[in-house]
Amino acid sequence: MSLEERSDGDTEEDDDGTRETAGTVEEDGAPNEDGVEDRDPAGGDAGAYNANDVNDQVFEELELGLDVAQLVQDAWNVFIQSAESREAAGEAIYAALFDAAPSLQSLFRTPRAVMAMRFMNGLQTIIQSLKDPKELKIVVETLGFQHLDLEVTIPRVVVFRDAIMDLFAVELGDRCPVAATNGLGTVLNYVGGAFIYIRLTYAERLKTISVSWAGANGRTAVSGDEGEDGAEEAAEAAGGRSGQEQSSGNAAKPQVAASASKKGYSWFSGRQASAGSFGDAERARHSGEVGTGMNTAVPKTFNQMFMFNAAVMGFGTRTWMLEVLNSFDAIVCNVTNSHRFQEECDVLSLRISKYPGTIALGEYKSVMLASLRSLVKDWGSLHEVSWSWLWENVARMLMALMGKPAGQERALSCLLASLDDASLSIIRREVYTKFFALAPTGQDYFKQSTTRLHFIADKVVAMTLEMYKEPKRMVEDISALGLRHVGYGIPTDLFGPFVTACVQVLRLLTQDDKAEEAFRWSLGLISRILTRVINEGSTIVMKAINTNSAKLLKRAVACAPRGQRSLWMLNVQVGTQSISPLMWAIGAGSLEAARAIIQDLLTIRADRDRYYYGMDIMFERHPDIIKRLCADAPALLPVLLDGLVWRSRVVEGGLRRVNYYVRHLIVSNDGRFSKATQWFTENGDPKLVCHPVAALVTDTVWSRVAFSTFLYGKAWFLFTLMVFVLSQSILTRTGNQGEDNANVIFGCRCFIYFLSMGQLLYHHIKYLTADLRNRSFVKFGFVKVPEYVSNSWQDVVSLLLTILLVAMLSIEPLIRCLESGGYKTFTQRCPQGENFIFSYSLMSSGAMILYFLLLCDLSVFSTRVSAFALVCGRVLSELLLFLFAFSFIVVAFACAISALDQQDVRFDGIPSSMLRLYTITLGMFSPDHYDKILDEPALMALIIAFVVVTVVFLYNLLIAQLACAYSASYQDMVGFARLKRGNIVMETMQSVPQRRWEAFVDGLRLDDRVEFGEGDIGLAGGIQVFEPASEHPTTVDLIRRFGGSTSPAARWPDEDLALSGRDDEDRFERMEKMIERAMKRMSAKQKRRGGSSAGGSSMMGSNLNEGSGSDSGFTSGSSQL
């Protein structure tokens, strides 16, 4: 009877829990190969198998006999009944195995509560099948298949067998007959021998599967002795493109894809298929069919061929096949990794459980074999047997869980719904109590507040149910969570105790064994996924980042093949999730490590065949890296920009060749204008925008693209200003008030009101409406204003100008005279117009000033003029402070003069006194008036005091303030001018036509490789200029060149030795450690020989003499350094 035909009762226990029953008990120093006790053979012999010897030469059906099988089953049942529960029995088995060989304890990686039940379930399944040799062989074969990656040996089987036998002898005593004991020993020997046989026998099948699967998907299989060559070929492909197409960044995508496909990193293999096949699969899934067969393209991969054959064979409505197909690549690629293989099957069982109807796994096998026969060229009988064997094992694992997830989900859902606040509080509190008891070191990693820990406990409980409901999404979320834990540096050995603690706490709150089993299984699966993700993601680069050590990071990346060095620092891929070591270092505040990564990426290295430069791959992986650095690590921006510059050490005619690699600062990955300039200007650092790279980018875009567009946009404003000046300041003062002149004035003012004012009204109404709709306001004191007004002073001036123009239109004298009806020509000299002429002229003067203020934008044409304008604006605050202090003194002295008994009518009252004091300060007071003041000595004294305070003190103070403010602003005025130009460039580039932009990019020729010297064709993506040799003198070659092998799979030679030959920092660090060790030895000897204070002196001398050996050793070590 096959496993598919077994009843629900036969497969009640979880099959996945037994994968470590024998294989995890590993020990190179285990007992000798014959290390078995002599047992009574009664009832123990079963053909080729007995209770004393482990037979790994054959794998046949075990004919134990019905009587012996019944005795073994009875003894097993007695053992379970003697324990408090099945969980307690599992704990006893776990403890027996755990204590049997202390040196093997590190191999027990699964949580104790989960592992105990796996041992229990595995043994239960085996013992229940003893009366059916055929079924027993299938069960054991399935378990052996799960242990293919573990080196099961006879001594290790003996350790496992003896631990179980000793446990039965202790727990059962006389209740276990000798025949039952020998029968159990025979069964355990049979299982262990089968594991060894399966591992040795099926090696050829595994190789066949690996090679044929790679061929079916157009990949190169890397296995065994071909591993080194295959790896070198893969790196050669990546690095070759790196050199030929100017940088390793161009090879990033192929390398990532190859890495993911090779290691089976994807949960859903459809992601690795071609875009067409995966897209067809997804569309078919939504339409309810696997495939339609209408695609005329020849299938070239397994996924494409599978979709085609499924449609042809009439399985187009089997939507569950898509789930198997999407996981099949990961299953096949991890066939020798029992942990990952079991994990993939468990997740797949959850996913296919969501599909209603009957799931006939044999149908998938038929389509699978048909597809492989079409794709594998040398298909033969060995392929047929190997793939059939693989699928049968996968099917057994899936069938073992078939129908269970739905019931487990219901049971767990009911349990969690029944938990009240008191029960949840117990879980939150007791989980950590038990966890810290099981793993005291865990307290060092749980540093959050109690409320945060309670939140984590709630999330863990909720995740166990979500795993049943949405397995696909949960796998993605758990993978992302695991990658975050990689950055936190959490040891994976803490997950086991945490799972055990959670299971133990839940056991206190329920008697529902099914719900408890569902919780345990789900949490165990989550733990396995997290552990795998963390182990796969914990690269040596991530470990160096966790220590924030630039030195360790350099040592870590020094191990990388030169063709993949950049990828090591930019991408850690686990499944469909990835994490960037560079971004993690920046986000975690490990700036020393981040600095080392950026410097390493932007260092140009070269061998005879190609150049390696990480600029392209860095910007392709992180297009927003400049934005991230501006926000989180502005100190690293100069490091990044310095890495984009190469300067030759060779001077040619007084000029030095300089390459600026600014492709990604000008052109984004989608071909549009990069936002790098915007991020630079929003950062607001005047020194940063003066960096040669940032200045080159801004000046190039401004001079060749933005300038003409900006000037064209300002031409309309200039024309409007000329018309306004003509109508308000020129024509009204010509003295010719004839009809023609009036008509021209009327036409100019109509132009201003309808076109200029109309444009301004549209602009402000548009943004005002948007702010009102979004309720976007900012406060100035107690007044709320629309947010757009606070963006720049130009918006404020424009709004004031609009208000003045509207007010001018409302009182326009020309319109007033027309309304009177008594004039046939345009005029403003009428009784109705005369009343508004003065008010109109005041508004016209204010509008004129505002027009010219807006004209200041044109200062951006010249950096020097723009810098001067900005300096004027910055020192304006000092002038305003002076005017405030001056006005305060004027008011004070005016009030004092008004209180004085004097007869000068020019200082009669506060307003008159203030006016006269202003004229005195500004030098507008007539000298003749001073003679009349002499007649009033008290008044003269106050005026003299006023002049001293204002003219002598305040004027000179103003000059000093302006000088200091200018001096402070002068250092950054060019930077502020460039910030202003950057803002205008970003605003202007939005109006540049696409065709003109593309012509500009083509003109830069960024795809052409730039020379490093005569005949030395270098890297693409740069702009070459020549600068005076004295501007940035350098005597060091910025390109690190190496001889030797040019294979991209080879590591770079030791750069420290290549540069200096000695690492002074490491040398002094070693010396410091040696001194510390010597001092500790001396101190220890003094403590051992220390006596009374009276003899301290002589004893000290003795100790020093006796410590001469250490000193001499230290001296010797120091001299070697």
Between helix 154-172 and helix 86-100 the angle, nearest 10°, is 130
Structure tokens at 348: 């797949």
User: In sequence order, what are the beta bridge partners of 1016?
Assistant: 1013
DSSP state of 667: B
Q: What distance in Å separates the CA atoms of residue 568 and residue 580, rounded to the nearest whole number?
A: 9
Pick the more confident residue, 1081 or 244: 1081
Q: Which of 418-427, 548-557, 923-932 has the lowest mean pLDDT?
A: 923-932
**Residues whose CB falls within 8 Å of the CB of residue 1011, separated by 6 or more in sequence, listed in order:** 657, 1017, 1018, 1024
- How many helices and strands (H and E) does the chain possess? 48, 12
Instruction: State residue 1110's pLDDT score.
Output: 38
- The separation between the first and the last C-alpha atoms of the chain, rounded to the nearest angstrom, is 73
* pLDDT tens figures, 284-313: 333 333 444 444 567 888 888 898 888 888
* DSSP SS3 for 353: coil
Nearest CA among 158, 191, 155 for reference residue 18: 191
Structure tokens at 616: 């392209």
- Check pLDDT > 90 for residue 22: no
Q: What distance in Å separates the CA atoms of residue 1121 and residue 1116, rounded to the nearest whole number?
A: 9
- Check pLDDT > 90 for residue 599: yes
* pLDDT tens figures, 630-680: 999 999 999 999 999 999 988 888 899 999 999 999 999 888 999 999 999
How far, CA to CA in Å, does 349 sit from each of 321, 354, 390, 470? 12, 9, 16, 12
Phi, psi dihedrals of residue 588, rounded to the nearest 5°: -85, 0
Which helix (H) or strand (E) segment is 58 a member of? none
pLDDT, average across residues 1096-1103? 38
- Check pLDDT > 60 for residue 18: no
DSSP state of 267: S
Q: What distance in Å separates the CA atoms of residue 984 and residue 859, rounded to the nearest whole number?
A: 11
With 0-12 / 13-18 / 19 or more C-beta atoms within 10 angstroms meaning exposed / middle / buried, residue 259 is: middle
Residues in the chain: 1121
Pick the more confident residue, 1094 or 479: 479
Cβ atoms of residues 397 and 142 within 8 Å? yes
- Check pLDDT > 90 for residue 618: yes
* pLDDT tens figures, 1037-1091: 889 999 888 888 888 887 654 444 445 555 666 677 778 777 877 777 676 665 4
Other C-beta atoms lying within 10 Å of the C-beta of residue 437: 11
The DSSP line for 755-800 is IIHHHHHHHHHHHHHHHHHHT-EEEETTEEEEGGGGS-HHHHHHHH
pLDDT, average across residues 545-563? 86
pLDDT, average across residues 878-888? 89
**Residue 935 — pLDDT band, cuts 50, 70, 90?**
confident
Q: What distance in Å separates the CA atoms of residue 728 and residue 708, rounded to the nearest whole number?
A: 30
- Check pLDDT > 60 for residue 16: no
Q: What distance in Å separates the CA atoms of residue 516 and residue 513, rounded to the nearest whole number?
A: 5
- Check pLDDT > 80 for residue 118: no
Pick the more confident residue, 622 or 713: 622
- Check pLDDT > 90 for residue 85: no
Q: What distance in Å separates the CA atoms of residue 869 and residue 984, rounded to the nearest whole number?
A: 15
**Residues whose CB falls within 8 Å of the CB of residue 1110, separated by 6 or more in sequence, listed in order:** 1078, 1081, 1082
Instruction: State residue 283's pLDDT score.
Output: 40
Structure tokens at 475: 């796998």
Structure tokens at 135: 């079924």
Q: What distance in Å separates the CA atoms of residue 1076 and residue 1081, rounded to the nearest whole number?
A: 9
Bridging pattern class, strands 604-606 and 1039-1041? parallel
Other C-beta atoms lying within 10 Å of the C-beta of residue 924: 9
- Check pLDDT > 70 for residue 445: yes
Between helix 178-201 and helix 154-172 the angle, nearest 10°, is 160
Q: Which of 16-25, 157-166, 817-826, 927-936 has the lowest mean pLDDT?
A: 16-25
Sign of CA dihedral 827, 829, 831, 836: positive
Which residue type, as a one-letter code, is found at position 433?
T
Sign of CA dihedral 840, 841, 846, 852: positive
Cβ atoms of residues 471 and 350 within 8 Å? yes
**Residue 36 — pLDDT band, cuts 50, 70, 90?**
very low
Q: What distance in Å separates the CA atoms of residue 304 and residue 297, rounded to the nearest whole number?
A: 9
**Residue 1111 — pLDDT band, cuts 50, 70, 90?**
very low
**Residue 51 — pLDDT band, cuts 50, 70, 90?**
confident
Instruction: State residue 24's pLDDT score.
Output: 32
Per the prediction, the chain carries an average pLDDT of 78
**Residue 114 — pLDDT band, cuts 50, 70, 90?**
low
- Check pLDDT > 60 for residue 327: yes
Other C-beta atoms lying within 10 Å of the C-beta of residue 961: 16
Is the pTM higher than 0.75? The answer reads no
Q: Widest CA span of the chain, in angstroms? A: 144
Q: Which residue has the tokens 């004092």?
A: 896
Cβ atoms of residues 274 and 219 within 8 Å? no
pLDDT, average across residues 492-502? 86
pLDDT, average across residues 529-538? 84
Instruction: State residue 811's pLDDT score.
Output: 86
**Residues whose CB falls within 8 Å of the CB of residue 237, separated by 6 or more in sequence, listed in order:** 251, 254, 258
Q: What distance in Å separates the CA atoms of residue 438 and residue 893, rounded to the nearest whole number?
A: 84
* pLDDT tens figures, 156-184: 888 888 888 888 888 888 888 888 888 88
DSSP state of 646: E
pLDDT, average across residues 756-762? 89
The beta-strand segments (E) located in 613-727 are: 645-652, 655-660
How far, CA to CA in Å, does 168 sit from each of 41, 64, 92, 174, 828? 17, 19, 10, 10, 119
Sign of CA dihedral 878, 880, 883, 887: negative
Percent of the chain's residues with pLDDT above 70: 80
- Check pLDDT > 60 for residue 239: no
Pick the more confident residue, 796 or 295: 796
Cβ atoms of residues 161 and 192 within 8 Å? yes
* DSSP SS3 for 1007: coil
Instruction: State residue 414's pLDDT score.
Output: 92
Cβ atoms of residues 936 and 904 within 8 Å? yes
Phi, psi dihedrals of residue 1024, rounded to the nearest 5°: -100, 135
